[in-house]
Structure 1
Amino acid sequence: ECGDTQEARPFPQPQQALLNVLTWLSSDDWQQKAKGLFSVRRLAICHSEILLSRLHDVALAVTKEVNNLRSKVSRFAISTLEELFRTMKKHMDHEVDEIARVLLQRMGDSSEFIQKAASQSLGIMVGSVTPARAMTALMASGVQHRNALVRKCAAEHLLTVMEQIGAKKLLSGTRDSTELLVCMVVKLAQDCHQDTRCYGRKMLNVLMSHKKFDRYLKQSAPSRDLEDVMATLKQKVSGWQEKRLLYASLTLFLFSSLRSGSDVLVLPRQTVRRTSLRTVEETEQLRELYELLADKDFQTRMEGVVLLLDHCKNSPKLISKNIVQIFDLFFLRLHDWHKKVNQQALEALVLMIPMLRAALHPVLVSLVAAVTDNLNSKHSGIYAAAVKALEASIAHLDNTLLLQALAHRVPSLSGQALLDVTEHVSVLVASVYRQRPQAVQRYALPVLWFFLGNRVLPVRSNSIKIVVTKLARSLYEVMGSRLKVAAARQSQHVEKNLQNIL
């Protein structure tokens, strides 16, 4: 029911208002954008059934404005998303992945009032959409993020979702999904940020409330993290929880030893807190690296990049074990205000990728975001290095994960970055389809529909048309007539555009 405020007044012609919204949001005038955002709120409150017909396009346009350089527009866009979640509820399920990614990103690079608004909007999202969708989005975009504030925010809302779902359902999935969940909780419980560790311990308590938690933990938790978990958590849990965690950890250790095929039963060391000389040396190396990468002097930061590259060559295990924390700082150098540092970091990344390979997968989403952001740089050296980093990623990283990360970036990109990323998505289609055809249909097809169905985009421009045509033909080569069948399930506008291209 509409209230008495102007914001809640219905439109006399809501269909026309919906068309106007998309036009205003695509304008370069910030006041027109603000007008469009204001109208979206009115449509959501008073004409939700009309808004539903173009909800994806509207949500995408509003999400794009979250990154608007004018803070007033950005703040208004965030509160508009909050209203969309509040009124459209589970109809927003399909928009959760991209919105969560963008809102979490704002937690790491914005002023305090923007951070507060973004967190509040995520809180409304968690309470409105399907909990499983919210959980997937937060895990994909937040818990492995390079920025500690982003991880903290994601962990806070993830705890709420896990409490909603309950331990029984959380631990009733496949072995792979259970393993991913438990490993994620262990990582959060060990995070460098105190609040994130606290949320991680609370998540662990949620899982431990299940009577068969010990069995799940034995099957899922990584044995190499056992000592760290015990050292950091056993003083944080109490009573029966401590006994249960200790017992589960011990049984996991024994289970891992037996499964490895060893005839000798090795008990866990009792001196968990005893630090070896090797650990002291590694700690000192990391401290020096962190200080150099975070230094105020740009030349010192460049020394930090050189030192990181040297560690990747000579101590890859050290980097792999601390990949998230190290790349927290290194990714900042990929956005460094000083162009020399920015370019050197990108060039170093090109060399790191073939050295680290799969060790980069936990930070792949952030890596892709940092590299693609640099594709719009006007600095020729930075742009060239970003292109090489993207090509190195395709050559040495998991192409399925890379396709997913690049496809999710497309709606939020513009300019040269949009062209380059779309072209690389086309390249990935063939290699990924051979191994996982369903991944191509899940990630690459929506990119094509995005271009063919979004009337706001300048699809008729020659540069856009070239990359979209290449993408469509790459998909047609591997899918054949199934591509046309899939297009028939889209709008007539999409189907017609695809026929014209093919």
Structure 2
Amino acid sequence: MEAVAEKVKKLQGNSAALLPRPPAPATRKPVVAPLTPAPPPKPSLPKKRATHGRSVRPAKTVSRDQRTDVTCSFQTAESQNQDDLQPLSNPAESLSLCFKQLSSDDWMTKVKGLRCIPALAQHHPDTLMPKLHEVCLVVIEEVKNLRPSVACAAMDTIRCLYVHLQKGMDTEANWTGQALLLKISQACGNAFLQQQASEALEALVQNCSPGRVLPVLLNTGQSHLSPAVRASTARLLHLLADRLGATKVLTARQSFTQRFLTAVSKMSLDAAAEVRPHGRAILQKLALHRDFMKLWQKNVAEKDRHSLEKVLRNVVKNIKIHI
């Protein structure tokens, strides 16, 4: 009986092993909220490599003086008001210091030297006149300076010399006027420099002797290749004609009247549109003088007279002058 019981236990054990086990309870995974997608990483730019034969230079730094010079290129002239000029305690010493400052390599020192000259011209002309030619030569060199602040200060200094010394600048009118006209050509695109040069040239026309002014304008300005220089010359001749009046122009020395009429006729036929109106405006004023036609036919070439007959006919038809 015990043997049978053992066999039964073995069979029960084997059958239990053969029965399928109940499935294990499913484990629930925790729900995880989706994360905000991170932005894609920026692609790294390839580093620039120095090519053979070229050196990689650091970025150019601009000093404070250079930044100031860009903005005050025209303020140097405006800040030099004639009312602010005061007499100097020691004019001779100031003049010597002025030459020393103008020989400096520092642009601000140069400007200080240039600002001293107008005070000498206004309050101490006796000290300045013996050295006037040397002063003008030094100032002309600064007109050519590539730094706008220095060039503007130099041109304003020449303007002050014209205003304060007037006919005392006649001997220097040729060189200073030539430098100013050439500066107009060199300063194309810089309205500040051109305006400063024009103001100085206007002071030349208004204060110096007409006999010294006319050769400067004609020899340097009228035949220049730059239309801007020729236009400035035409405007200055127009200003000179207004200053003198038709009678003085036509009754001056024969050489002056001849050169003036010839120049005005050429201006009236100039290829540049900004030049012609000045020449024709001058002719209209001169044509009203009773001696104009006789002098014009005597001094102006016939081919030029023929081209300008229509212009003059419109002016003189009301006073019954027949060409």
Q: Check whether TM > 0.5.
A: yes
Among 258, 265, 268, the alignment partner of 1:189 is 268
8 Å contact kept, 1:90–1:130: yes
Partners of 1:43 and 1:99 in 2: how far apart?
18
Among 10, 21, 37, the alignment partner of 2:98 is 21
For each residue in 1:126-164, what CA deviation from the matched residue of structure 2 results, as whole angstroms up to 9, or x when unmatched?
Answer: 111122222222122212211111111111111111222
1:54-69 maps to which residues of 2 (within 5 A)?
Answer: 54-69=131-146
CA-atom RMSD in angstroms: 2.5
SS at match of 2:274: helix
Superposition deviation, residue 31 in structure 1: 2.5
Partners of 1:235 and 1:217 in 2: how far apart?
14
Among 104, 116, 120, the alignment partner of 2:195 is 116
Partners of 2:163 and 2:82 in 1: how far apart?
17
Give the structure 2 partner of residue 341 of structure 1.
none
| 1:73 aligns to 2:150 (yes or no) | yes
| 1:216 aligns to 2:295 (yes or no) | yes
Which runs of 5 or more structure 2 residues have no equivalent in the other structure?
1-79
For each residue in 1:29-73, what CA deviation from the matched residue of structure 2 results, as whole angstroms up to 9, or x when unmatched?
Answer: 323211210111222233222112211211221122111011110
Q: In the alignment, residue 155 of structure 1 is paired with which amino acid?
A: A
8 Å contact kept, 2:283–2:312: no
Give the structure 1 partner of residue 245 of structure 2.
166
Superposition deviation, residue 173 in structure 1: 4.7
Give the structure 1 partner of residue 40 of structure 2.
none
| 1:134 aligns to 2:216 (yes or no) | no
Q: In the alignment, residue 104 of structure 2 is paired with which amino acid?
A: S
Superposition deviation, residue 234 in structure 1: 5.1
Q: In the alignment, residue 232 of structure 2 is paired with which amino acid?
A: C
Give the structure 2 partner of residue 447 of structure 1.
none
| 1:240 aligns to 2:318 (yes or no) | yes
8 Å contact kept, 1:86–1:124: yes
Give the structure 1 partner of residue 178 of structure 2.
101
Superposition deviation, residue 238 in structure 1: 6.2
Partners of 1:4 and 1:219 in 2: how far apart?
47
Q: In the alignment, residue 146 of structure 1 is paired with which amino acid?
A: L
SS at match of 1:194: coil
For each residue in 1:210-233, what CA deviation from the matched residue of structure 2 results, as whole angstroms up to 9, or x when unmatched?
Answer: 2111111121111122332235x2
Give the structure 1 partner of residue 115 of structure 2.
38
Give the structure 1 partner of residue 235 of structure 2.
156
Give the structure 2 partner of residue 9 of structure 1.
86
SS at match of 1:9: coil
For each residue in 1:170-199, what CA deviation from the matched residue of structure 2 results, as whole angstroms up to 9, or x when unmatched?
Answer: 223555544332221111001122232111
Partners of 2:279 and 2:121 in 1: how far apart?
35
For each residue in 1:61-104, what CA deviation from the matched residue of structure 2 results, as whole angstroms up to 9, or x when unmatched?
Answer: 11221110111100111111111111111111111111111111
SS at match of 1:39: helix
Which of the two has higher C-alpha Rg? 2
- Name the count of aligned residue pairs: 242
Partners of 1:100 and 1:198 in 2: how far apart?
23
Partners of 1:226 and 1:60 in 2: how far apart?
41
When the two structures are superposed, what TM-score results if normalisation uses the length of structure 2?
A: 0.68
Higher RCO, 1 vs 2 (CA within 8 Å, ≥6 residues apart)? 2
| 1:204 aligns to 2:283 (yes or no) | yes
For each residue in 1:314-336, what CA deviation from the matched residue of structure 2 results, as whole angstroms up to 9, or x when unmatched?
Answer: xxxxxxxxxxxxxxxxxxxxxxx
The share of aligned pairs that are identical, in percent, is: 29
Partners of 1:176 and 1:47 in 2: how far apart?
36
User: CA distance change for structure 1 residues 177 and 134 in 2, over 3 Å: closer, same or farther?
Assistant: closer
User: CA distance change for structure 1 residues 4 and 173 in 2, over 3 Å: closer, same or farther?
Assistant: closer
Superposition deviation, residue 6 in structure 1: 10
8 Å contact kept, 2:297–2:305: no
Partners of 2:147 and 2:226 in 1: how far apart?
23
Partners of 2:93 and 2:196 in 1: how far apart?
30
8 Å contact kept, 2:227–2:272: yes
Superposition deviation, residue 113 in structure 1: 0.8
Partners of 2:236 and 2:172 in 1: how far apart?
17
Give the structure 1 partner of residue 129 of structure 2.
52
Partners of 1:172 and 1:4 in 2: how far apart?
38
Partners of 2:315 and 2:102 in 1: how far apart?
50
8 Å contact kept, 1:163–1:206: no
8 Å contact kept, 1:123–1:157: yes
Q: In the alignment, residue 197 of structure 1 is paired with which amino acid?
A: R
Give the structure 1 partner of residue 159 of structure 2.
82
